Structure 1
Amino acid sequence: MRFVDNLYSLYREHLQEDEENAVSVVLNVLEEQNREDIMKLIKDMDDEEIVQMMGVYLVEMLKMKMAQEGHLNDWESPLNRPRYH
């Protein structure tokens, strides 16, 4: 949660407008990270944070699969939106 708190503090002004700004911030930050950086962040998480992270990931992936098979016609992953830098 410390990483999220730090991100929020840094980008607070950009995050007040809408969800797409949060997606943009996250994608831009992740582009700057390598595997080792990300694994360190995960290692520093407590068990509850890891479970929450995996829960969000699994729900989004299941929704993507459902959309691919035509079960969620109006669903669009925020991660598949165009990136604006």
Structure 2
Amino acid sequence: MRFVDDLYSLYRDQLGEDEENAVSVVLNILEDQSRNDVLKLIQEMNDEEVIQMMGVYLVEMLKMKMAQEGQLNDWESPLNRPRYH
């Protein structure tokens, strides 16, 4: 996806080897976007990218639900971690 490629190019040096850095970058960018901005990005995606995005979202939401129900003890959502600016 072009948007991901652009993000990676812009933030490559800040991402390092830590997943939390990627989460922080994404959350900071999304925080400045409106619903319409996000929908425009989705409309630019091809079908495979939309399906992949929904797949990742659904897996993460199911893991969160499993953790809430006590079925997944060691899972921590990267979205619930503290954010550092």
Q: Tell me the TM-score range normalised by the shorter chain.
A: over 0.9
Which residue of the partner structure matches residue 71 of structure 1? 71
Once residues 57 and 11 of structure 1 are traced to their aligned partners in structure 2, the CA distance between those partners, rounded to angstroms, is 23
Deviation (angstroms), 1:17:
2.7
Match of 2:36 in 1: 36
Equivalent position of 2:58 in the other structure = 58
Structure 1 residue 11, shift from structure 2 partner: 0.1
State yes or no: 1:27 paired with 2:20.
no
Matched residues, number: 85
Aligned residue in 2 for 1:13: 13
Q: Which runs of 5+ in 1 are unaligned?
A: none
4+ residue runs over 4 A deviation:
none
Q: Deviations over 1:27-77 (max 9, x none)?
A: 000001000100000000000000000000000000000000000010000
Hey, what's the Cα distance between the residues in 1 that align with 2:61 and 2:24? 19
Q: How far 1:19 sits from its partner (Å)?
A: 0.3
* Separation (CA, whole Å) in 2 of partners of 1:22 and 1:69: 28
Alpha-carbon deviation of 1:15?
1.2
Task: Output the CA distance in 1 between the equivalents of 2:83 and 2:16.
Answer: 18
Gaps of 5+ in 2: none
CA distance in 1: counterparts of 2:31 and 2:65, whole angstroms: 24
Cα shift at 1:16: 1.8
